[in-house]
Amino acid sequence: MAERRRPAGPACYPPAVDLDLSTEHALLRSTIRDYMVAEVAPVVEEHERERRFPVEIVRHLGEMGWLGIPFPEDEGGAGLDTLAYAIAVEEIGRVWGSLGLIVAAHTSLGCGPLHLAGSAEQIERFLVPMASGKVIGAYGLTEPGAGSDAGATRTRAELREGRWVVNGSKLFITNAGTDISACVTITAVTGERDGRPEISNLIVANGTPGYEISPPLRKLGWHASDTRELSFRDCAVPEDSLLGERGAGFRQFLEILDGGRISVAAMGVGLAQGAYELAFAYAREREQFGRKIASFQATQFKLADMATEIEAGRALVYKAAWLKDRGRPFAQEAAMAKLYTGELARRVVNEALQIHGGYGYMEELPIARFYRDQKVLEIGEGTNEVQRLVIARHLGL
């Protein structure tokens, strides 16, 4: 039998996968990186030490259009895509975890619900000023008794004479209590459906009577970000504060969390990249036994493993963003990216601190801040255990 030969020439092969960033994405990365290094890095430790929210820096980010990157221009955004947003969060998180959280929580959780389900009036009143960076927003899902089990929401909203009267509390809410906070979107039980709680989303503007915001909570890490407990005591908001359809809150927040996981995963990559770069630079400067510690194979292997895992994590994040931008299912990939990069950040930061030795345990060095900040990436926006449940269900288990 004659040998069957593959036809010659490139026409017989499928198009190659293009792994290069577009010119626009590459420019965005370099612009944000330059800004973070030149303008932000010098003031990070001061803000963290004083646990001070960086109001002026956040305002500047808004002026540059970086607080509404993935939203259309007619909604106040920059009109870019999810990949651009992931790149921005990664670059911000590479230098400052607190600022990365502020941007991610505002964009995904503050603006995201309004973009997803807001009416024309809600978009104009709330989303346009938020996406354009004039103010920031928040999302209230977690409660003292409802963390991973978000369906166990106890906050209630009762419709009385054309107003929703809200009673309950939310915990660990980001961006709700700053001088530039505009509103919070909260989940609340608005009745029952088929014998089960009916959960809806409601917009509550800052300053609404009955809406009380606690002093900032003291956290292990992310010291310059704003985290509060929110209380609602007979807090009355207009009937048109309902976001989307009544009873659609559960579906809405699942979709919001799916998208938000991409940004949290990007934070994990950025944090790991920043820690790796600190360790790399330190290893090339520190001398022991008459040699730079970067010349020791044990150190080289650590750095090689770190660099490899960061590339793998970045690929997971970018794929999830790519799928979302094309309107394809992405929930499984977002959960995978969030799970992997949270654990990646832990491994990389731990090894980076080990390379620093005793100096790494001193708060004067930035690596100590990275070590504190990484842990919450395995908890927030769905714990690692929840991510594994999400992945297992998508696998059909």
Q: Tell me: the pLDDT tens digits for 225-246?
A: 999 999 999 999 999 999 999 9
Q: What is the pLDDT of residues 71-90, one digit of tens each?
A: 999 999 999 999 999 999 99
pLDDT value of residue 18: 80
What pLDDT sits at residue 17? 72
Q: How far apart are CA 316 and CA 56, in angstroms?
A: 33
Residue 4, in any domain of the structure:
no
Are 98 and 225 within 8 A, CB to CB?
yes
Same-domain check for residues 182 and 317 = no
Contacts of residue 384, defined as CB under 8 A and 6 or more positions apart, other chains included, come to: 339, 342, 343, 378
Mean pLDDT of 139-161: 91
pLDDT computed for residue 125 by the predictor: 97
Residue 288 parent element (H or E): strand 287-288
- Answer for the pair 378, 344: CB distance below 8 angstroms, yes or no: no
Is residue 165 within 8 A of residue 235, CB to CB? The reply is yes
Do 142 and 132 belong together in one domain? no
Instruction: Name residue 204's amino acid.
Output: V
Among 82, 103, 136, where does a domain finish?
A: 136
Same structural domain for residues 256 and 388?
yes
Amino acid (1-letter code) at residue 154? R
Q: Domain with 63 in it: what CATH number?
A: 1.10.540.10
Residue 373 resides in a domain:
yes
For residue 13, what pLDDT is reported? 58
Residue that is last in its domain, among 192, 222, 245: 245
SS3 232: strand
* Among 143, 343, 351, 381, the one annotated catalytic: 381
Predicted confidence (pLDDT) per residue in 268-300, tens digit: 999 999 999 999 999 999 999 999 999 999 999
Tell the residue number behind the tokens 């330059």, with chain if given.
34
Confidence of residue 11 (pLDDT cuts 50, 70, 90): low
If one counts the domains in the chain, the total is: 3
Position 159 scores a pLDDT of: 97
Radius of gyration of the chain (CA): 23
Q: Is 239 a catalytic residue?
A: no
Rounded distance, CA 140 to CA 315, Å? 30
Are both 27 and 121 inside the same structural domain?
Answer: yes
